[in-house]
Amino acid sequence: MKGLFLTLEGIDGAGKSSHIDALEALFKAQGRQVTRTREPGGTPLAEALRAQILEQPMDALTESLLVFAARRDHVVRVIEPALARGDIVLCDRFTDATFAYQGAGRGFDPSVLSTLEQWVQAQPDSGVHALLQPDITVWFDLPPETAAERLAGARLPDKFESQPVEFFRRVAAGYAQRAASAPRFVRIDANQSREQVWQQIEAALAERGFVASDSGGAP
Ligand code: TMP
């Protein structure tokens, strides 16, 4: 069976992580093997880099290099082998987050990010210009003000979560721009109840033929 690379994206507080359990259950109910992972992270090295990225102040180029270094290790050791086995890879964030956070949020040069993307996601066996990209990206779209309200009073915020709402307005605009340019994006209106959000996700997966439409699987 062919592997499937599914990523979840959105600004902090958009609620994406709370649907990963249900996604895993949905695919497992269809007899699929699931690899669940996240970025930055997913390998011992990438998790160590994550801790630094989320806590240490650093300039945007350093941050981008570390994010892509973590991604390279993750792609080579986890994502590509899982896809080769035919797994469903459920990945909480991937390169779209770099364009949204480091690019749009921090104002870093997107052409440098594109170059790093070419290096890190190259697939020489699939043709000179082939890049590893998600098959589907579930984008949780939520107004930054609402996300900030949801995050307020939650656990101790990390470096990104403690950014002002203006930062997240830029990140949200970065996601919107990216979503407009790639058909693999599915926009989910995350400003709804958890149940309604889940129904949108299930419907989008069924519409694209990734799961059977009568698959059930409530969160
Ligand atoms: P998470 O809290 O959803 O696991 O994401 C970790 C944080 O890292 C989140 O604030 C977004 C940020 N991030 C980037 O800035 N660039 C990236 O490339 C990735 C994957 C995450």
**What are the boundaries of each domain within the chain?**
4-207
pLDDT in tens, 176-199: 999 999 999 999 999 999 999 999
Question: What residues does ligand 1 touch, defined as CB less than 6 Å away?
Answer: 12, 38-40, 54, 67, 92-93, 97-98, 101-102, 160
Which is higher by pLDDT, 120 or 157?
A: 120
pLDDT in tens, 195-211: 999 999 999 999 999 99
pTM of the model: 0.96
Distance 196 CA to ligand 1 centre (A): 25
Per-residue model confidence (pLDDT) at position 212: 82
CATH number of 4-207: 3.40.50.300
DSSP state of 105: I
- Rounded Cα distance, 32 and 99, in Å: 31
Nearest atom in ligand 1 to the alpha carbon of residue 101 is 15
- Rounded Cα distance, 188 and 141, in Å: 6
CB within 8 A of 40, min separation 6: which ones? Answer: 46, 47, 49, 50, 53, 54, 66, 67, 70, 71, 93
DSSP state of 26: H
Distance 40 CA to ligand 1 centre (A): 6
pLDDT in tens, 30-64: 999 999 999 999 999 999 999 999 999 999 999 99
Indicate the top mutation candidate among 71, 92, 101 to test ligand 1's pocket, ranked by most ligand atoms within 8 A of CB: 101
Indicate the top mutation candidate among 93, 120, 163, 171 to test ligand 1's pocket, ranked by most ligand atoms within 8 A of CB: 93
